[in-house]
Amino acid sequence: NAGVTQTPKFRVLKTGQSMTLLCAQDMNHEYMYWYRQDPGMGLRLIHYSVGEGTTAKGEVPDGYNVSRLKKQNFLLGLESAAPSQTSVYFCASSSGTGGPDTQYFGPGTRLTVL
């Protein structure tokens, strides 16, 4: 039981390049989330999904797109990377069964945009 995994762990991009971050979970969770973490800013929600085929905007969605074609996977795309997107990206999942619904996090992807 791997929990939440993220690919890749590290990536360096040049301004204007595109890339996709992959998140996978093996807990059969309905809800999945993408956060970014920046020094002094805390964790901020980018996009989230409440089920296969659904996506919704979070607090800081601009410059990112997401897709949830399969229940266990949640993809985060950067179409044209900018230096402001240099950050550590975390994926999380939760069961979505109601109550406080604890989120479980992946190990993160460190992205640098030059």
Partner 1 sequence: EDQVTQSPEALRLQEGESSSLNCSYTVSGLRGLFWYRQDPGKGPEFLFTLYSAGEEKEKERLKATLTKKESFLHITAPKPEDSATYLCAVRTSNTGKLIFGQGTTLQVKP
The contact set with partner 1 (CB under 8 A) reads 4, 33, 40-45, 48, 58, 90, 99-108
* Closest-CA residue to 72 (of 10, 16, 12, 3): 3
Tokens coding 106: 């992946």
**In the complex with partner 1, which residue's Cβ is closer, 56 or 82?**
56
Nearest distance from C-beta of residue 15 to partner 1, angstroms: 25
**In the complex with partner 1, which residue's Cβ is closer, 17 or 104?**
104
Q: Are 32 and 8 in contact (CB under 8 A)?
A: no
* φ, ψ dihedrals at 70, nearest 5°: -125, 150
Nearest distance from C-beta of residue 64 to partner 1, angstroms: 16
Nearest distance from C-beta of residue 16 to partner 1, angstroms: 28
**In the complex with partner 1, which residue's Cβ is closer, 37 or 65?**
37
Q: DSSP letter at 9?
A: S
Residue 7 pairs in a beta bridge with 22
Nearest distance from C-beta of residue 92 to partner 1, angstroms: 8
Q: Are 89 and 4 in contact (CB under 8 A)?
A: no
**In the complex with partner 1, which residue's Cβ is closer, 28 or 99?**
99
